[in-house]
Amino acid sequence: MSRTTVDHSLFWNREISSKLSYDANAPIVKEAKIISLSDVNDPSNGPLNNPTNDLPQGSRLLAVGGSIDDFDVELLKREGANTIFVSHPLARDPLDRLLQEIPSIEWIHSRSAGMDFVASPTLTSFQGKVTNAKGLYSSTLAEYTMMACSYFAKDLPRLLKNKGFKNWEKYNVLELRGSTLGIVGYGDIGRAAARLAVAYGMKVIALRRRPVPDDLCSVVYGNDKESLNRLFAECDYILCAAPLTAETNGMIGKEQFDAAKSGAVFINVGRGPIVDEDALVEALKDGRLKGAGLDVFATEPLSKSSPLWELDNVLLSPHNMDQTATFTYESTSFFVEENLPRFVRGLPLLNPVDASAGY
Amino acid sequence: MRFKVSLLQKTRQTFQAVQRLQSTATTAAQQYTWADPARRHYKFWNRETDVTGQYSYLIGISPESLQREARIVALGSDEADEALHQGPLPLGASLLGVGTTVEELQQNVDKTSPNVLFVSPNCPHAATVLPQVLQAFPSIEWVHCRSAGIDFIESEELVQLYTHRLQSPKPLQITNAKGQFSSSLAEYALMACAYFAKNLPLLLQKQQERSWHKYNVEELRHKTMGIVGYGDIGRAVAKLATVYGMRVIALRRHPFLSRDDPYCNVVYGRDQESLHQLMRESDYIVCSAPSTVETRGMVSAEAFQHMKPNAVFINLGRGPVIDETALQNALREGKLKGAALDVFVEEPLSTDSPWWDTPHVLISPHNMDQTATFMHEATEFFLRENLPRFLCGEDLLNPVDPVLGY
């Protein structure tokens, strides 16, 4: 599924991009009439739901709610609501309803980078603008990625076990320098990880839909099955930072783990359903994979009965490796301070999403 | 192998060494300009960034470049020295004999007088044996140490011999493996920082309990890292820290040498107040200093008191540089977030060492630079870099000063 409609120059990265770079002198051409589909008790939504200062000129918050019953849909229709800010974890159905009932909606902004939580046929065929929080969480996840690689390279499981046994046992460690990192889904997160990996002296191979050369990657492959298997065969560390779409669902499974290089480590910060979790467990148990660093799972929270909990070659985190004290708050601020002013001035919005592609 | 010096000897050593240091301090600026990585004639070698094999290539293509012979004796050996024992050695170099005591060497080495001594860290009682060997074979003009740390061969006798020979027509040169192990240790340092930033102790505990417990993680970006002992290892750590977006404070004897270093934001000198300031400002402290008369006990109880309450302390230099008891107490009292230690005063740690039960500390058995090939590569460095330079009459890389201890 190709994503041809988005303008890459509009992607925003928290570390690199300049802030407030829109032309503030451009005249305001329309009003933003906002529906906030979010948790009213979540302080991270404060910059929109409960701002200390006024919202940007030309913006008006019409309603806040978490389910369709929280909204007076007829009223919103009469008011001509045109913007939806969505962050509520159960937003899929309410968003679907709102889109169907209110034809004046022209813009949806997601507080998260992932769009899979609100994916629906209505959204896929939505003709208006969709934007998200791409580029806001990348550097933290890149830090986690290098830590997960080092965790296995220096054999931390062994180190921690030895401490318990008061065992001073010298063993050889591996260097990341000179090893190869493969990145499946070379978006903002993938690029942030590549930047760090290159500083460590790792070789980087990226998997992209269009194999365009990149200054951080030694090699770039296309996103066909053969290239994916080749990536697994050539890389010591494989990072999955892809979004969950119809295309990527179940993309990584037994075939890839069979192809994996000896001693390969798999790291997933994208979405759980991209990986066949049963096949992953098998590969970890029989040693086809040396280890895995997993921050995302097919079902979250991860069920207590999942075998992943007890494998000692798994670094398991509860989808929190991008969860800093301020990250969701910063994401709401991004909507309020960057995209709202652009919308009311008719300027291009940052972080466009191709609704039909799902990312 | 750690050579334990008696307290009296150590005190005498300290007093005399400090006296010598005061006299060399005035010429420090002239002496050490070659120690600045930005300078063209930088005398230290880094495994990651430096060109390799120039001189061994030169000897290969033009034997006229040979200025002298190298007649080598080796003190201590293990399988990592294979390349030295089996060869081939560069043209003009020969291995005369191997041993761990003067007697052994005198037996094995024939009448030709050796001029090069290669010392391995596995040689038992190296600090006692080395001066004896140098006295038995006064023709030795160059000692190369296979490791980076030279604390295991330091002694009052060595310092006396070295200083005495400085006046003679053939001064003694001592070189080491500086720059050989830096990148592995830099990886470990950043891993240790991330280990605490992402709260791995909590994560692993929850994993054991099968508890899905979301908590906030910290970023390394925009945090401050203080590096105590800004040598090759310190610089490799700073290089990574910079890419992570951290602010770096470097602490070294000669701050002016790092004045234009792109990897550190501030450089402090080695006075106590500077160290305390570094402790006050840093979220992560990496101690990569060698163990010398000056640095022993440098990170004292008082220094630890200046730490931020959620600081992380990492030691990958030498155990004796820090006050271990003070750190243990600070950890028990929760005065810092945690520590990661690869080096200790006592190595190996005995089973009744208090370190095993100290909370919030990541302990590794001095192996965070121990790759499968690290010692082999150190021997290769001697054979492919310094030995050819010696043979061609060029300056040797990685000079060390036994008076300073590094």
Q: Read off the pLDDT of residues B7-24 as tens digits, 9 standing for 90 and up.
A: 656 666 655 655 554 444
Full-model pTM: 0.88
CB contact under 8 A, B217 and A160: no
Question: Which residues in chain B (165-194) have CB-CB distances under 8 A to chain A?
Answer: 183-184, 187-188, 190-191, 194
Write out the residue range of the structural domain in which residue A70 sits.
3-136+326-345
Domains parsed from chain B with CATH numbers: 66-179+382-391 (3.40.50.2300), 182-363 (3.40.50.720)
The pLDDT, as a whole number, for residue B208 is 94
Residue B29: band (very low, low, confident or very high) from pLDDT cuts 50, 70, 90: very low
> Which candidate, B288, B275, B338, places its Cα nearest to that of B309?
B338
Block residue for tokens 């105590």: B228
Domain closes at, from A278, A296, A316: A316
Residue B357: band (very low, low, confident or very high) from pLDDT cuts 50, 70, 90: very high
Separation of alpha carbons B180 and B198, rounded Å: 30
Q: Report residue A259 as tokens.
A: 């192809």
Hey, is the C-beta of A163 within 8 angstroms of any chain B C-beta?
yes
Is residue A264 domain-shared with residue A197, that is, in the same domain? yes
Q: Is residue B40 over pLDDT 90? A: no
CA distance A174 to chain B (A): 6
Helix, strand, or coil (residue B5): coil
**Does an H or E element contain A266, and which?**
strand A265-268
Find all residues with CB under 8 Å of B280, minimum gap 6, and list them. B306, B307, B308
Which residues of chain A make contact with B343, given a CB cutoff of 8 A?
none
Separation of alpha carbons A107 and A349, rounded Å: 10
User: What does the pLDDT look like over A190-208, one tens digit per residue?
Assistant: 999 999 999 999 999 999 8
User: Exposed (0-12), middle (13-18) or buried (19+): which is A230, by Cβ within 10 Å?
Assistant: middle
The pLDDT, as a whole number, for residue A211 is 82
CA distance A166 to chain B (A): 6
- CB of B119 within 8 A of CB of B142? no
- Percent of chain B past pLDDT 70, that is, above it, reads 89
Peptide bond into A301 cis (omega under 30): yes
Within 10 angstroms of residue A262's Cβ, the number of other Cβ atoms is: 9
Hey, is the C-beta of B1 within 8 angstroms of any chain A C-beta?
no
Instruction: Please state the rounded mean pLDDT for residues A62-86.
Output: 95
Block residue for tokens 């060492």: B353
Is residue A88 domain-shared with residue A228, that is, in the same domain? no
Is residue A244 domain-shared with residue A106, that is, in the same domain? no
CB contact under 8 A, B368 and A173: yes
Separation of alpha carbons A51 and B262, rounded Å: 41
Is residue A125 domain-shared with residue A155, that is, in the same domain? no
A297 within a domain of the structure (yes/no) = yes
* A170, A195, A304 ranked by CB distance to B367: nearest: A170
Q: What are the start-end ranges of the H helices in A41-132? A: 46-49, 73-79, 92-101, 121-124
* B183, B363, B372 ranked by CB distance to A163: nearest: B363
User: What does the pLDDT look like over B213-251, one tens digit per residue?
Assistant: 999 999 999 999 999 999 999 999 999 999 999 999 999
CA distance B144 to chain A (A): 24
Block residue for tokens 């969709």: A130
- CB of B21 within 8 A of CB of B373? no
CA distance B41 to chain A (A): 25
CA distance B243 to chain A (A): 7
The CATH number of whichever domain residue A113 belongs to comes to: 3.40.50.720
CA distance B108 to chain A (A): 33
User: What does the pLDDT look like over B156-212, one tens digit per residue?
Assistant: 999 999 999 998 888 999 999 988 889 999 999 999 999 999 999 999 999 999 999
A352 within a domain of the structure (yes/no) = no
CB contact under 8 A, B194 and A201: no
Could you tell me the strand order of the sheet in which A83-86 lies? A59-65, A32-37, A83-86, A107-110, A129-131
Which residues of chain B make contact with A325, given a CB cutoff of 8 A?
216
Give the number of beta-carbon pairs within 8 Å between A and B. Answer: 127
What is the Cα A164 distance to its own chain's centre?
36
Hey, is the C-beta of B301 within 8 angstroms of any chain A C-beta?
no
CB contact under 8 A, A160 and B210: no
The pLDDT, as a whole number, for residue A97 is 95
Is residue A276 domain-shared with residue A242, that is, in the same domain? yes
What is the Cα A224 distance to its own chain's centre?
21
- Percent of chain B past pLDDT 90, that is, above it, reads 70
> Which candidate, B227, B264, B266, B224, places its Cα nearest to that of B246?
B224
Separation of alpha carbons B272 and B251, rounded Å: 11
User: What does the pLDDT look like over A11-48, one tens digit per residue?
Assistant: 998 888 999 999 999 999 999 999 999 999 999 999 99
The pLDDT, as a whole number, for residue A209 is 78
With CA atoms as reference, the chain B residue closest to A300 would be B212
Separation of alpha carbons B199 and B218, rounded Å: 8
Q: Is residue B53 over pLDDT 90? A: no
Q: Is residue B30 over pLDDT 50? A: no
Hey, is the C-beta of A255 within 8 angstroms of any chain B C-beta?
no
A358 within a domain of the structure (yes/no) = no
A257 within a domain of the structure (yes/no) = yes
Residue A250: band (very low, low, confident or very high) from pLDDT cuts 50, 70, 90: very high
Is residue A166 domain-shared with residue A281, that is, in the same domain? yes
CB contact under 8 A, B365 and A168: yes
Is residue A143 domain-shared with residue A270, that is, in the same domain? yes
Residue B25: band (very low, low, confident or very high) from pLDDT cuts 50, 70, 90: very low
Report the mean per-residue pLDDT for chain A.
Answer: 94
The pLDDT, as a whole number, for residue B41 is 61
Q: Is residue A212 over pLDDT 90? A: no
The pLDDT, as a whole number, for residue B2 is 47
As beta bridge partners, residue A34 has: A61, A83
**Catalytic residue ranges of A:** 271, 300, 319
As beta bridge partners, residue A130 has: A108
Which residues of chain B make contact with A321, given a CB cutoff of 8 A?
198, 217
Which DSSP symbol is given to A243? Answer: -
Separation of alpha carbons A200 and A175, rounded Å: 9
The pLDDT, as a whole number, for residue B12 is 65
Q: Report residue A280 as tokens.
A: 């992953």
A217 within a domain of the structure (yes/no) = yes
Q: Which residues of A48-62 are buried (b: 16+ CB within 10 A; e: fewer)?
A: bbeeeeebbebbebb
* A163, A201, A315 ranked by CB distance to B356: nearest: A163
Is residue A262 domain-shared with residue A338, that is, in the same domain? no
Pairing of strands A237-240, A219-221: unpaired
User: What does the pLDDT look like over A136-183, one tens digit per residue?
Assistant: 889 999 999 999 999 999 999 999 999 999 999 999 999 999 999 999
- CB of B130 within 8 A of CB of B75? yes
Range with the largest mean pLDDT of A262-271, B66-75, B106-115: A262-271
- CB of B324 within 8 A of CB of B287? no
Sign of CA dihedral A332, A337, A338, A343: positive
Which residues of chain A make contact with B197, given a CB cutoff of 8 A?
143
Q: What are the start-end ranges of the H helices in chain A? A: 46-49, 73-79, 92-101, 121-124, 138-153, 156-164, 188-199, 225-234, 254-259, 277-285, 327-334, 340-344
**Does an H or E element contain B10, and which?**
helix B7-25
Residue B3: band (very low, low, confident or very high) from pLDDT cuts 50, 70, 90: very low
As beta bridge partners, residue A84 has: A35, A108
Is residue A40 domain-shared with residue A50, that is, in the same domain? yes
How many domains does one find in chain A? 2
* A171, A175, A199 ranked by CB distance to B243: nearest: A199
Separation of alpha carbons B54 and B387, rounded Å: 12
Instruction: Please state the rounded mean pLDDT for residues B44-49.
Output: 83
Which residues of chain A make contact with B122, given a CB cutoff of 8 A?
none
A309 within a domain of the structure (yes/no) = yes
Is residue A49 domain-shared with residue A95, that is, in the same domain? yes
Residue B28: band (very low, low, confident or very high) from pLDDT cuts 50, 70, 90: very low
**Does an H or E element contain B375, and which?**
helix B374-381
User: What does the pLDDT look like over B291-341, one tens digit per residue?
Assistant: 999 999 999 999 999 999 999 999 999 999 999 999 999 999 999 999 999
Hey, is the C-beta of B356 within 8 angstroms of any chain A C-beta?
yes
Is residue A164 domain-shared with residue A301, that is, in the same domain? yes
Is residue A165 domain-shared with residue A115, that is, in the same domain? no
User: What does the pLDDT look like over A275-314, one tens digit per residue?
Assistant: 999 999 999 999 999 999 999 999 999 999 999 999 999 9
